A and B are shown apart, each in its own frame.
Chain A
Amino acid sequence: MPHQEPLTVVAKVDPTRLASLAHVMDAMRHDPAHNDVLPFGALPDCHFGRVLFLPESEDLQGRAIAPQLLMLSDCDGPVGPHLEALVDRAQGGIDRLFGNCEDFPKLNGQGASRAQRLDFLRKKSVHVKASYVHRPGRSVEQIRREAQLRDALETFVDAHGLTNLAPLEARKQLRAHVKSTPALSWALEPAPGVDLGYRIRNALDAATLPLGLIAFGPVVLPAALVLLILIRLQELRDPAPHIRPTPEHVRELAALEDFVAQSGYTAGGLLKPGWVRRATVATLLPVIGWGTRHLFSSDSLAGVTSIHFARWIPLDQGRRVVFVSNYDGSVESYNNDFIDLVSWGLNLIFSNGYQYPKTQWLVQGGATREQEFKDYLRRHQIPTPVWYSAYPQLTAPNVVRNAKLRAGLHGYMSESEARRWLKLL
Chain B
Amino acid sequence: MAEIALRLFGGENAIENAIGNVISTKLAEKRALSHALTGDKLVRETGVSPSALPIDVEDVQGLIFRGYGTLHAACYVLLQLGDAAEARAWLAQLWPEIARGVPAAEQSAVHVAFTYAGLRALGLPAAALDGFSRSFSDGMIDEHRSRFLGDTQRSAPEHWSWGGPNQPAAHAVLMLFAKDEAALTQLQTSMRQAWLAGGITELTTLQAAPLRATEHFGFADGISQPAIEGYHPAPSDLHLVKSGEFLLGYPNEYGEYTERPLLDAALDPKALLPLDVEGSAQRDLGRNGSYLVFRQLRQDVPAFRRALEERTCNPDGTPNLAARDALAARMVGRWQSGASLVVAQYGDDASKAKQNEFRYHDEDPEGLKCPIGAHVRRANPRDALPPGPGSERSLAVNHKHRLIRRGRSYGEPLPEGVTDDQDRGLYFIAVNADISRQFEFIQHSWLVDPRFNSLSNEADPLLSAQPSNAFSVPHEPVRARYTGLPRFVTVAGGAYFFMPGIRALRFLAELTP
Contact = CB atoms under 8 A, between A and B. Distances in A.
Interface stretch (A93-101, A158-166, A277-285, A406-414): A158-166
A201 B483 CA distance: 48
Contact of B475 (A163, A250, A261, A336): A163
B10 A364 contact: yes
A333 interface: yes
Nearest to A262: B451
Interface stretch (B141-149, B328-336, B346-354, B407-415): B141-149
Interface of A: 150, 154, 157-158, 162-163, 165-167, 169-170, 232, 236, 244, 247, 250-251, 254-255, 257-259, 261, 303, 305, 328-330, 332-333, 336, 339-341, 358, 360, 364-365, 368-371, 394-395, 397-398, 400-401, 418-419, 422-423, 425
B256 A369 contact: yes
A250 B134 contact: yes
B441 A336 contact: yes
A330 B444 contact: yes
A326 B134 CA distance: 25
A371 B259 contact: yes
Contacts of B134: 244, 247, 250
**Interface of chain A, main secondary structure:** helix
Interface string B396-420: 1100100000000000000000000
The residue in A236, A244, A258 that gathers the most chain B C-beta atoms within 10 A of its C-beta is A258
Interface string B442-483: 001100010100101000000000000000001111111101
26 contacts: A150-B456, A157-B478, A158-B483, A163-B477, A163-B480, A169-B477, A236-B7, A247-B138, A255-B143, A258-B144, A303-B386, A303-B387, A329-B449, A329-B451, A330-B445, A332-B437, A332-B440, A333-B441, A336-B441, A360-B10, A364-B10, A370-B252, A397-B451, A401-B456, A422-B477, A423-B479
B13 A332 contact: no
A258 B366 CA distance: 28
Contacts of A258: 144, 147-148, 444
A170 B478 contact: yes
Nearest to B475: A163
B479 A425 contact: yes
A370 B254 contact: yes
Contacts of B444: 258, 329-330, 332-333
Nearest to A342: B387
A255 B146 CA distance: 11
B13 A157 contact: no
A395 B400 contact: no
B471 to A, nearest CB: 12
A401 B456 CA distance: 9
B61 interface: no
B363 interface: no
B12 interface: yes
Contact of B454 (A158, A360, A364, A401): A401
Contacts of A423: 366, 474, 479
A341 B394 CA distance: 10
A340 B397 contact: yes
A322 B13 CA distance: 30
B440 A259 contact: no
Nearest to B258: A371
Interface in B236-261: 252, 254, 256, 258-259
B256 A371 contact: yes
Contacts of B2: none
A67 to B, nearest CB: 27
Contact of B445 (A150, A255, A333): A333
Contact of B451 (A162, A261, A340): A261
A304 to B, nearest CB: 9
B201 interface: no
A347 B291 CA distance: 31
B126 interface: no
B477 A358 contact: no
B400 A336 contact: yes
Nearest to B252: A370
A371 B142 CA distance: 22
B1 interface: no
A395 B478 contact: no
Contact of A329 (B9, B436, B437, B445): B445
Interface residues of B, number: 44
Contacts of B12: 236
Contact of A255 (B144, B436, B437, B478): B144
Contacts of B138: 247
Contacts of A247: 134, 137-138
Interface of B: 7-10, 12-13, 134, 137-138, 142-144, 147-148, 252, 254, 256, 258-259, 366, 386-387, 396-397, 400, 436-437, 440-441, 444-445, 449, 451, 454, 456, 474-481, 483
Contact of A341 (B143, B387, B400, B441): B387
Contacts of B147: 258-259
Contacts of A251: 142, 144
Given A261-B451, A329-B449, A336-B437, A167 B477 contact: yes
A397 B440 CA distance: 22
Nearest to B8: A232
Nearest to B479: A425
Nearest to A242: B259
Contacts of B8: 232, 236
A252 to B, nearest CB: 10
A4 B331 CA distance: 41
A333 B436 CA distance: 10
Nearest to B454: A397
The residue in A167, A261, A371, A394 that gathers the most chain B C-beta atoms within 10 A of its C-beta is A371
Contacts of A336: 397, 400, 437, 441
Contacts of B449: 329
A403 to B, nearest CB: 12
Contacts of B256: 369-371
Nearest to B39: A368
Contacts of A232: 8
Contacts of B397: 336, 340
B481 A158 contact: yes
B63 to A, nearest CB: 25
A244 B436 CA distance: 15
Contacts of A330: 148, 441, 444-445
Contacts of A394: 451
Given A158-B481, A167-B476, A255-B143, A332 B10 contact: no
Contacts of A255: 143-144
Contact of A165 (B143, B451, B477): B477
Contact of A419 (B10, B144, B386, B477): B477
A396 B8 CA distance: 40
Contacts of B366: 423
Nearest to A256: B144
A130 to B, nearest CB: 23
Contacts of B143: 255
B470 to A, nearest CB: 8
Contact of A162 (B10, B258, B474, B477): B477
Contacts of A163: 475, 477-478, 480
B2 to A, nearest CB: 15
Given A165-B477, A259-B147, A368-B254, A328 B451 contact: yes
Contacts of A165: 477
A55 B444 CA distance: 33
A261 B454 CA distance: 12
B7 A157 contact: no
A165 B400 CA distance: 42
Nearest to A360: B10
Nearest to B481: A158
Contacts of B386: 303, 305, 341
A341 B396 CA distance: 11
A169 B478 CA distance: 11
B479 A157 contact: yes
A154 B259 contact: no
A153 to B, nearest CB: 10
